[in-house]
């Protein structure tokens, strides 16, 4: 297993050891002990989720507010997505910045996103099966979000905006500036 740092502290791309032969392949998609050796601060994962989506679906940008904040370990079982993590940690030197990575069933990469980040993904293949582990249980009352096309963040989702398919709730999230103001965060000082 190889851990790759990203431009944002605490966010990692994980490349598993894949063993292939004429029959196919095998790899450990999760090994709590091995991951803790490589990333000692990684929290315990307590919930697994899976979704299936078609091309153009964009899910995000989501997060859970404390005390139900979640770290996530995400991967794609089949298909291809652009996965995005946006830093919402007050006081972080990368507040409002994002990291993205293409996750596919073929590259088998995983993306670790700590607490304090908004997370989302866009489906770039015909369909994709997306799987993620969470460090805390889902709590509907603590849901939060930032609008997917926030110009301050400027994510290139690799989709034509007219083709993006969103849930009703993902159409009405606040911008990063609006969210920061609602939470008493001086956005200008965070940048």
Per-residue pLDDT tens for 45-89?
Answer: 999 999 999 999 999 999 999 999 999 999 999 999 999 999 999
Q: Where residue 191 falls among pLDDT bands split at 50, 70, 90?
A: very low
pLDDT of the residue at 131: 97
* Domains, in order of start, for the chain: 2-190 (2.60.120.10)
Among 5, 140, 130, CA closest to 62: 140
* Token code pair at residue 100: 């993205």
pLDDT of the residue at 190: 47
User: Is residue 188 scored above 80 in pLDDT?
Assistant: no
Per-residue pLDDT tens for 138-156?
Answer: 999 999 999 999 999 999 9
User: Is residue 186 scored above 90 in pLDDT?
Assistant: no
Residues designated as active site = 62, 132
3-state secondary structure 39-104: CCCCCCCCEEEEEEEECCEEEEEEEECCCCCCCEEEEEEECEEEEEEEECCCCCCCCCCEEEEEEE
Per-residue pLDDT tens for 86-141?
Answer: 999 999 999 999 999 999 999 999 999 999 999 999 999 999 999 999 999 999 99
Q: Give the other-Cβ count within 10 Å of 83's Cβ.
A: 25
Among 113, 177, 118, CA closest to 143: 118
pLDDT of the residue at 84: 98
């Amino acid at each position: 297993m190889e851990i790759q740092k990203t431009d944002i502290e605490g966010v990692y791309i994980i490349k598993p050891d894949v063993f292939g032969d004429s029959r196919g392949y095998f790899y450990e998609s999760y090994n709590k002990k091995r991951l803790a050796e490589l990333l000692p601060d990684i929290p315990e994962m307590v919930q697994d989720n899976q979704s299936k989506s078609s091309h153009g679906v964009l899910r995000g940008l989501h997060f859970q507010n404390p005390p139900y904040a979640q770290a996530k370990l995400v991967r794609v079982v089949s298909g291809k997505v652009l996965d995005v993590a946006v830093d919402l940690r007050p006081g972080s030197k990368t507040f409002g910045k994002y990291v993205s990575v293409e996750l596919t069933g073929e590259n088998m990469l995983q993306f670790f996103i700590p607490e304090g980040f908004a997370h989302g993904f866009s489906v770039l293949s015909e369909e994709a099966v997306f799987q993620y582990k969470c460090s805390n249980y889902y709590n509907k009352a603590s849901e939060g979000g930032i609008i997917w096309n926030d110009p301050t963040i400027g994510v290139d989702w690799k989709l034509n905006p007219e083709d993006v398919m969103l849930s009703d709730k993902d159409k009405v999230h606040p911008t990063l500036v609006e969210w920061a103001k609602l939470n008493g965060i001086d956005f200008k000082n965070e940048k």
